Each structure stands twice: as structure tokens, then as C-alpha cells.
Amino acid sequence: MKKSAVVLLVVVLFIAMAGFSHGRLSPVLQIMLARLGWIQSIVTELSMSNFEGLKNHADLLAADAQKAGEGAPAESPPQNFNYKLRDAARAMSDGASKKDGAMVVKQFGEAISACYACHAAGRDK
């Protein structure tokens, strides 16, 4: 009985995950989940003082924000939020190159501020 329940649970989980792996998430949600992953990785790398890994994740975040900003309507709030995030991520990358933890933390705050501002604007609609 227990084995049957475990097998059933595993099958249900695989079916649920299959829905996510086939692009059923909206493009905006896919972008936000990728960014959340990079933010989590940046925090992890910072906690271990792994500035090389931190720089890599900050560069990926900056490139993603640049690409999303270019795809947004000119001078629109989404474009501005993406460019603010891009600038903060680039500054985090610069701080990581210099192994300047204080600069990374300050710019991390700027990045989170850009995330919060975008989410707040979306909630206010």
C-alpha cells in the first residue's frame, strides 16, 4: 500500500512538472523565475565570498535585463525597470571583479529595488 501511494505521488509530481517544462508559463513568468534563480545564486555566492561565481550570475542577470528592456516599448515603465536592473547587475559584476563585497551588497539592494518597483507597478494596475 505504501509503495503504491509513493508511486502514485511520484507520477502526479512528474505530470505536474511536465506542464511547466512544456512552456505553459507565460513569457513574463519565465523571465521572473530565471531572474529569481540568478538572485538566489548571487546571494549564495556572496555568502561564500565566491566573487567569480557571483560575477557570472550578475552578468547573466544584466544580459537578460538588457534583452528584456530592448523588447519593451521605448521609455515605458517595463523598459525603465529592466534598465535599472541591468545597471545594478552590471555594478554588482564590477564589484565582484574588484572583490568589493560592500559594493555588491549596495548594488544588490538597487537590483531588488528595481524588482520591487516593477512588481508594485504591476499590482497597481
Q: Are 54 and 42 in contact (CB under 8 A)?
A: yes
Q: What is the pTM of this model?
A: 0.77
pLDDT tens-place string over residues 8-41:
555 555 565 555 555 588 888 899 999 999 999 9
Confidence label for 77 from pLDDT (cuts 50, 70 and 90):
confident
How does the average pLDDT of the chain come out, rounded? 85
Q: Which CATH class is domain 26-124?
A: mainly alpha
The pLDDT value recorded for residue 16 is 58
73: left (phi over 0), alpha (psi -120 to 50) or beta: beta
CB neighbour class for 107 (10 Å; exposed up to 12, middle 13-18, buried from 19): buried
Confidence label for 63 from pLDDT (cuts 50, 70 and 90):
very high
pLDDT tens-place string over residues 81-104:
999 999 999 999 999 999 999 999
Q: Quick one: which H or E segment has residue 17?
A: helix 2-21
Give mean pLDDT, residues 107-123. 90
The pLDDT value recorded for residue 108 is 96
Q: What residue segments make up the domains of the chain, in order of their start?
A: 26-124
